[in-house]
Chain A
Amino acid sequence: MSSPISIADLQDTALIARLQALVAESPVPAAAISAVLYTLQDARGYIDDVALHAAAQLTGLSPVRVEELCTFYSLVLRAPAGRHVLRICDSIACHLAGAQDLLAQAQAYSGVALGEVGLRGALTVVPHVCIGLCDRAPALLVDGEAAGPVDATSLAQWLEQWEADAWKPS
């Protein structure tokens, strides 16, 4: 499928150079897709359509293939996220250890639905598949850092901290 969007639409030559270097050092271009997506996500906050098509063109994958990957891996964000991203594991071990309560607590605090941006741009809460910390269930990822076991109090501490930050005049 051809797309009207091209790599140049990223409008960031340094970023494009970094991406091209990633592809160049990969044994086959397609194998660089995860690294390319993470780099794009770091630079742009999430994978928007421009980033999706750019990643496809750089790696020679079709945009459909890239979207398949983005929608399958919950570490890849396809929508804007808050400054802090809370990924709460709700797979089996964490579920049994009360992940649903943590999810409900965090979501209520954010004031918006799961996956949306709440707390004046400070927070996005998403459920996540097992992060391999089943022995420390319930576990979660706070801005990419693993933590567990987490209880309502420790979760509340993060949330309150972020809320305070959100109201700080910048």
Chain B
Amino acid sequence: MKRIFYLDGQPVPFTSGQNVLEAAIAAGMARQIPYFCYHPALGSLGACRQCAVKIYPHDDKHPPRVTMACLLPASDHLQLATVDQEVHTEHRKIIELLMLNHPLDCPVCDEGGQCHLQDMTVQTGHAVRRYSGPKRTYRDQDLGPLVHQEMNRCITCYRCVRFYQDTAQGDDFGVFGSRDRVYFGRLEDGPLESPFSGNLVEVCPTGVFTDKVFRHDYARVWDLQQGPSVCPHCAVGCNTLPGARLGTLRRVRARHHPEINPHFLCDRGRYGFRYVTAAERPVRARLHGVHSRQDAVLRQVATRLQEGRSGFLGSPREDVQSNLALFALADCLHAPFAALSSPWMEALAQQCMALPQAPTLNDVEMADHLIVLGDLGGVAPMAELAARQALRHGARLTVLASRPTALAEAGDYRPTRPSALPDLVTGLAEDACLQGSRRPVILAAAETLGPAGVHALRKTLARLPANARAGVFQNSPNLFGAAYFAADGHTVRLQHALRQREIDHLLCLAADPLGSDWGAGIWRSLAPGLQGVTVLDMVDTDTVRAAETVLPMAAFPERDGLFINYEGRIQAFAPVYRREAQVPSWQENTRGFPAAAGGQMHPLGPPTPQYWLGRLAELLDIVKPWQERLTFYQRFLCPIAPRPDHPGILLDDALRARFEIAAAPAAAPVGTEDWELDLFRWHGGEALADAAAELQSLAPSRGLRLNADVDASFATLSGPCGRLRLPVLPIVGMVAGVAALDQEGFAQLGLHPGEAVQIQWETVS
């Protein structure tokens, strides 16, 4: 039966557990009840006293009374009114009180136009200020490069501190003082430490916390072009709402996805977008390192391809269609193709594909027991945020990692060597820690677990009760999309062809084989056999700098496409704006002719990868077969592509099941005396986000992280592909015999997490 109550005589549907305000907002009747401190993710507090309604009790013993809608549980046939003199007075007086100290600075406030306080003030009709006394003022803090603070605008709704301390469980931000002098900030100036700090900007209903990056290149919200997009910075695939103006991307906000990210984003997702505006971003075609005409560069690439000595390399950083377009081109030319840069990654991708359906982040929040393998927060921060919500609901947490990660501090930390993970995962089915849990969820950092570990995880899941679920994460947006093309041995075959001098040209799509991609060490050793490298990319990489031909690509918010996230969910993103090439003002008069005169008024930004590949197909005279293959594969992979504002479609189970036959990967044995490597990532790090200056100013220093007992200042690591000297960074509580290294380091050495490494120590006094 549908449950309803009545608000001003209109029926409002509700579900049990909802309060009146929540139900009214859900029913689109929020205009009747102004509110501040209630937030769907943070719940009710009753602090602001703004959400008054009048309740008419069913009995005649009690007179009607004014009460707070956010604290009133919805119940059947409740009679409520807001069209009432008393309620109206309450609404007006409360907002007048809240506005007493508020500065009259809307014209210079970044929140203006998207301000809840502004909306509520107008909505309740508070238009004239009667108070003319002195206002309470504060000194603002410098909270780092991401969030700007302007404390005088505060209305003490406590949303910020509830988000920061309760939801995100951060401990460097709080609320100080009492009475009418309450301050929301840090103990002292300094950057906010939470990986979710940017959400303060969205939860604060006033202009106290605003986006400091957006501030540098600000536009009023009504001037922004916005559109549905998907975060490209990790496998979670949070939904985003980028905003652009005059051909430049200005900010990213969270877009509601009921099962992934109903309200929030991590700071990588919010601030990583600055790769789009980075000065180093390749935006013009290059031939031998010099900006050249598109046609000249394309002709050079076509000549290379015509020689029939080319190999193709795709990437999990690129969307489905671009990888498809590349695959189709390779197919037409009968050239070797690999979607992933290393056989290890290929095996990992296949094992991830073969896993049974992963839990949504919503499911993770509902878990009653969590087992986390590796540093989840460094890879997929929003997955960590979901895990923290489960903790708040009383879930137990066991963390198997080589170092006490932020999440490990909140649960039972079991120091673990990465090489031991496959065996430990196998043992989980018998482990006492899972006994008695009703909704156990295992979350893992894919690369730390490795192919053998993910394989063990699948076998373990088969032995666990059916309610046990597992999700495996890494930090590229489309591993599943790329894994689809990653048949066994593709990468090996491509590398073999290069080694045998069968090919001497490599066409890379958003891959960085000569830089920091997995397996880059091998590629670098093979590089002397390359006559030329062609790269399509949207960030500056080692490979871009070394390439013979560079074809710049549109960034994700500048085009449409599909990503497949860690659940196998196919999500579409739409073009939000069109980048216009940035022409320095002194060149104003040398711009192209107006369109009427046969020229371009606004030179367009970099085209999509499909455009480039299509042009190449044209030059090679294979447009028809290329397009046929493209359509065929796309129909096969996602017969019905979702629309950009759709919550996404899950990859067909049958498609995934075929990866179950992939050979069980073997992990190299590591002796207990050996030093072994684990992967170090931080919450802001990822190939694209690495080009976001503001975010990267917070990056932890580079070095080799290991147990604080080791007495050395520098370490020289040697691997099959090279050596690397790094400063030693001591970590208290880290497992002895494990050293954590960034992906770049792994690439240079030619090693993978959980593998043994030779280390020479140096002590500098």
Contact = CB atoms under 8 A, between A and B. Distances in A.
Given A1-B193, A63-B187, A64-B186, A71 B178 contact: yes
A74 B193 CA distance: 29
Interface in B175-195: 175-179, 183, 186-187, 193
Interface in A1-33: 1
22 contacts: A1-B171, A1-B172, A1-B186, A1-B193, A62-B171, A64-B171, A64-B172, A64-B174, A64-B186, A64-B187, A65-B171, A65-B174, A67-B174, A67-B187, A68-B174, A68-B176, A71-B176, A71-B177, A71-B178, A71-B183, A72-B177, A72-B178
Interface of B: 171-179, 183, 186-187, 193
Contacts of B183: 71
Contacts of B174: 64-65, 67-68
A5 to B, nearest CB: 11
Contacts of B187: 1, 63-64, 67
Contacts of B172: 1, 62, 64
Given A1-B187, A1-B193, A67 B176 contact: yes
Identify which of B172, B176, B177 gathers the most chain A CB atoms within 10 Å of its CB: B176
A119 B177 CA distance: 27
Contacts of B193: 1
Nearest to A1: B172
A72 B183 CA distance: 11
A74 B177 CA distance: 9
A67 B161 CA distance: 14
A65 B169 CA distance: 12
A37 to B, nearest CB: 15
Nearest to B178: A72
A42 to B, nearest CB: 23
Contacts of A129: 178-179
Contacts of B186: 1, 64
A71 B184 CA distance: 12
B138 to A, nearest CB: 13
A68 B182 CA distance: 10
A1 B177 CA distance: 20
B685 to A, nearest CB: 21
A62 B175 CA distance: 13
A74 B176 CA distance: 12
Contacts of A72: 176-178
Contacts of A65: 171, 174
B176 to A, nearest CB: 4
A1 B178 CA distance: 23
Interface string A61-82: 0111101100110100000000
Given A64-B171, A71-B183, A72-B177, 15 more contacts: A1-B171, A1-B193, A62-B171, A63-B187, A64-B174, A65-B174, A67-B174, A67-B176, A67-B187, A68-B174, A68-B176, A71-B176, A72-B178, A129-B178, A129-B179
A108 B193 CA distance: 44
A62 B186 CA distance: 11
Interface in A111-130: 129
Contacts of A74: 178
Those 6 A-B pairs whose CB atoms lie nearest each other, nearest first: A62-B171, A1-B172, A64-B174, A71-B176, A68-B174, A71-B177
A51 to B, nearest CB: 14
Nearest to A53: B187
A129 B181 CA distance: 14
Interface in A33-69: 62-65, 67-68
Nearest to B177: A71
A34 B118 CA distance: 41
Interface string A82-93: 000000000000
B112 to A, nearest CB: 30
A63 B173 CA distance: 10
A65 B177 CA distance: 12
Contacts of A71: 176-178, 183
A10 B193 CA distance: 27
A67 B173 CA distance: 10
A68 B185 CA distance: 10
B213 to A, nearest CB: 23
A1 B406 CA distance: 11
Nearest to A70: B176
Contacts of A62: 171-172
A65 B176 CA distance: 9
Nearest to B181: A71
B43 to A, nearest CB: 20
A71 B175 CA distance: 9
B171 to A, nearest CB: 4
Given A1-B187, A1-B193, A68 B171 contact: no
Contacts of A68: 174-176
A11 B187 CA distance: 23
Nearest to A127: B179
A62 B193 CA distance: 13
B144 to A, nearest CB: 13
Nearest to A52: B187
A74 B181 CA distance: 13
Contacts of B176: 67-68, 71-72
B711 to A, nearest CB: 21
A131 to B, nearest CB: 15
Nearest to B186: A64
Contacts of B178: 71-72, 74, 129
Contacts of B179: 129
Contacts of B173: 64
A64 B173 CA distance: 6
A34 B183 CA distance: 21
A65 B179 CA distance: 18
A65 B165 CA distance: 10
Contacts of B175: 68
A71 B185 CA distance: 13
A68 B179 CA distance: 13
B123 to A, nearest CB: 32
A74 B172 CA distance: 22
A88 to B, nearest CB: 15
Nearest to B172: A1
Identify which of A64, A68, A72 gathers the most chain B CB atoms within 10 Å of its CB: A64
A65 B166 CA distance: 13
A62 B176 CA distance: 14
Contacts of A63: 187
A1 B142 CA distance: 16
A52 to B, nearest CB: 8
Identify which of B174, B175, B178 gathers the most chain A CB atoms within 10 Å of its CB: B174
A68 B171 CA distance: 11
A129 B176 CA distance: 16
A74 B179 CA distance: 11
Nearest to A91: B179
A62 B172 CA distance: 7
Contacts of B177: 71-72
A10 B271 CA distance: 41
Contacts of A1: 171-172, 186-187, 193
A48 to B, nearest CB: 13
B708 to A, nearest CB: 14
A65 B171 CA distance: 8
A72 B177 CA distance: 5
A135 B176 CA distance: 30
B517 to A, nearest CB: 34
Contacts of A67: 174, 176, 187
A56 B626 CA distance: 65
A132 to B, nearest CB: 17
B337 to A, nearest CB: 48
B194 to A, nearest CB: 10
Nearest to A78: B176
Nearest to B175: A68
A68 B176 CA distance: 5
